[in-house]
Amino acid sequence: MKDGFIPLAAPVARLIEELSKLPGIGPKTAARLTYYLLRRPAPEATALAEAVLALKEKTILCSACQNIAEADPCPICASPERDRATLCVVEEPLDILALERTRKYRGLYHVLHGAISPLEGVGPEQLRIRELLSRLQGGQVKEVILATNPNLEGEATAMYLQRLLVPLGLRVTRLARGLPVGGDLEYADEVTLTRALEGRQEF
């Protein structure tokens, strides 16, 4: 022990180190989580550990849509009730959950697992674009909806995909963007207002 420093028990230090690798979790939060788990009954910690192991051992990527699933194909791709002429391209699996909550979309999905971001070293070759193009070869898909995020990376990805897809004779659409429900005009940024004006509809 030097200068009053009390060394951490090795298991505690190891868990703090591993938790701090998670996005949005800094060393202080990792330490709080570690000591929280230390105070909980052993079965709770065991359940958490088993859930993490099952996440890696019992999930796969659907060979069709690239979504995370337990079986291949995933339930959405396997469902005979889905519209196979429409394909919605999203960045991450969580985006599918958001769209499914609306209960308005009945087509299929394709997950890119990211967006083009030169600053982070993510190019088209790191995304599931090759798999997307392969799915479109059969001619069953008539419309591709680009549902990437409305930020710089999402826009770059959408434009890149549009250049690839339009020559295939497909209808390529983009999710409409505008003012959020319950929002005030005075708080909307210029880009949002511009898109809201451009996407206006008959009343």
Task: Kindly state whether residues 144 and 89 are assigned to the same domain.
Answer: yes
Task: Kindly state whether residues 113 and 27 are assigned to the same domain.
Answer: no
Task: Kindly state whether residues 36 and 102 are assigned to the same domain.
Answer: no
Task: Kindly state whether residues 94 and 168 are assigned to the same domain.
Answer: yes
> In which domain, by residue range, is 31 found?
10-57
Assigned domain for 118 exists: yes
Assigned domain for 121 exists: yes
Q: Are 55 and 93 in contact (CB under 8 A)?
A: no
Reported as a pLDDT band with limits 50, 70 and 90, residue 2 is: low
Question: SS3 for 169?
Answer: coil
> Across residues 31-38, what is the average pLDDT?
97
Phi first, then psi, for residue 122 (nearest 5°) are: -105, 110
Task: Kindly state whether residues 151 and 168 are assigned to the same domain.
Answer: yes
Task: Kindly state whether residues 32 and 65 are assigned to the same domain.
Answer: no
Number of domains in the chain: 2
Q: Are 183 and 200 in contact (CB under 8 A)?
A: no
What interhelical angle do 27-39 and 42-57 show, nearest 10?
Answer: 120
Assigned domain for 180 exists: no
171: Cβ contacts below 8 Å, ≥ 6 apart: 142, 143, 144
Residue 203 has pLDDT above 70, yes or no: no
| Nearest CA-CA partner of 64 in 157, 142, 126, 140 | 140
Reported as a pLDDT band with limits 50, 70 and 90, residue 25 is: very high
Assigned domain for 19 exists: yes
33: Cβ contacts below 8 Å, ≥ 6 apart: 19, 25
Task: Kindly state whether residues 97 and 169 are assigned to the same domain.
Answer: yes
CATH number of residue 39's parent domain:
1.10.8.420
Task: Kindly state whether residues 46 and 121 are assigned to the same domain.
Answer: no
Task: Kindly state whether residues 99 and 140 are assigned to the same domain.
Answer: yes
Q: What is the pTM of this model?
A: 0.83
What pLDDT, in 10s, does the model give residues 89-123? Answer: 999 999 999 999 988 999 999 999 999 999 999 99
Cβ atoms < 10 Å from Cβ of 71: 10
For residues 113 and 71, give the distance between their C-alpha atoms in angstroms, rounded to a whole number: 18
The single residue listed with the structure tokens 């193009």 is 133
